[in-house]
Amino acid sequence: MALTGVLRPGFAQLRVLDMEKSIEHYTKRMGLYEVTTGNDGRVYLKCGDEFDHHSLVLRKCDQAGIDMFAFKVASDADLDAFEARIVAYGFPVDHVPAGEQPGLGRRIGWTIASGHRIELYAHADLSDPKPMIHNPDVWDMEPHGMAARRMDHCLLYGPHIEKNLDFFTKVLDFKCAERVDMPDGLLAIWLTCSTKAHDIAFVNYPEPAKLHHVAFELKDWHAVGHAGDIITRYNISVDIGPTRHGITRGETIYFFDPSGNRDEVFAGGYTYYPDHPTRTWDETQVGKGIFYYERKMNEAFLSVVS
């Protein structure tokens, strides 16, 4: 089957306490590129292996966290079709005009049961650097820092994630690749709209609209090790890793940006196809699912969010 409807994560908009330090972190250390600064001061960044205009937006604010997570859909007609389905499901949808973020077409947005704002859009201009398309080299601009290739997914914390599961699968045509069920209910879900093991994930948490991490994909396990060297060399606050997730199988490091938002860089992960069954974890093995080598969660996994 071809990918239709929701194609992939498009951008995350993060709130940062110090813009200058944040730009340095995401560009010099993680290897993203600054595309432009908007009139309102928001800064737009991208990875070198992405075609579209930007995949990360930084907004200066006195509170850390995530403003929204947006997905790109295949066509403008999809926006209307999804809007009708979202409204029919019961969530009011609002409209963000083209150009509200430089390089992007019109967007639709709404709030899901966990309190997070999700958006869809169909059009993005191209920006540099981007992959070459005629007699292409492996990269146009030489990768630097952690050499993040793309903004890949996010993990969000909030209440009612069983409602998020229902919504994403019924209305946005996502699939649930993995889930964790505790004796007292659903703890976590990994949802995909593609052949990746996840494009967005949720953990049940009493407080709405929280961010656990935004993740950027690296080339391989060696690149994850190199990212670990950068984290120590530049005294970036590390959470855990390098290690591996049992869930999705990704090789990973969790660390924090200068505002305390958690970032992940990772490599690997299995291929998911929409006919695959959901993989499930229970209370006895969930530690191995989260951190495969440690075989237990660290204290921060369930309690530290922004």
Residue closer to Fe ion by CB (options 67, 264) is 264
For other proteins, the binding residues in 105-144 under the rule CB under 8 A are 115, 117
* Of residues 47 and 68, the one with the C-beta less far from other proteins: 68
**Closer residue to other proteins (CB): 258 or 289:** 258
**Is residue 237 near other proteins by the rule CB under 8 A?**
yes
User: CA–CA separation, 294 vs 193, rounded Å?
Assistant: 29
Question: Binding other proteins by CB under 8 A: which of 5, 24, 51, 59?
Answer: 59
Q: Which does 38 bind (CB under 5 to 8 A by kind): other proteins, Fe ion, none?
A: other proteins
Please count the CA atoms within 13 angstroms of the CA of 150 that sit on its side-chain side.
14
How many of the chain's residues bind other proteins (CB under 8 A)?
Answer: 41
Instruction: Answer with the entry of other proteins, Fe ion, none that 17 interacts with (C-beta below 5 to 8 A by kind).
Output: other proteins
Q: Which of 254, 250, 230 is nearest to 241 (CA)?
A: 254
**With contact defined as beta carbons under 8 Å apart, do 306 and 260 qualify?**
yes
Q: Which of 206, 232, 275, 277 binds other proteins (CB under 8 A)?
A: 206
Residue 198 annotated among the catalytic residues of the structure: yes
Judged by CB under 8 A, the stretch of 11-19, 130-138, 192-200, 282-290 that binds other proteins is: 11-19
Bridge partner residues of 124 (DSSP): 104
- Decide: is 5 part of the binding site for other proteins (CB under 8 A): no
* Listed ranges 40-48, 145-153, 164-172, 194-202: which one lies at the site for other proteins (CB under 8 A): 40-48
E strand segments, the chain:
6-16, 33-37, 43-46, 56-60, 65-73, 94-96, 107-111, 117-121, 150-158, 175-182, 185-192, 200-204, 210-217, 238-244, 251-256, 262-267, 279-282
260 binds, among Fe ion, other proteins, none (CB under 5 to 8 A by kind): other proteins
Q: For residues 237-266, which are near Fe ion according to CB under 5 A? A: 264
**Of 27, 34, 36, 60, which lies in the binding site for other proteins, with binding defined by CB under 8 A?**
60
Look-up: residue for tokens 């990360």? 56
| Cα→Cα distances 257→17, 67, 83, Å | 10, 16, 34
Contact present, 216 and 230 (Cβ < 8 Å): no
Binding partner of 192, given other proteins, Fe ion, none, CB within 5-8 angstroms per partner class: none
Which residue in 19, 188, 211 sits closest to 117, CA to CA?
211
Going by C-alpha positions, the residue among 104, 102, 103, 83 that lies closest to residue 171 is: 83
Residue tagged active-site, from 116, 213, 226, 251: 213
Residue of 53, 245, 251, 272 with catalytic role: 245
Both tokens of residue 183?
Answer: 């004796």
Active site residue 264: yes
How far apart, in whole angstroms, are the C-alpha atoms of residue 198 and residue 177? 7
Q: Dig out the tokens for 36 from the structure.
A: 């432009």
Residues 164-183 that bind other proteins (CB under 8 A): none
* Catalytic-role residue among 119, 217, 251, 264: 264
Catalytic residue among 25, 153, 212, 226: 153
**Catalytic residue set:** 153, 198, 213, 245, 254, 264
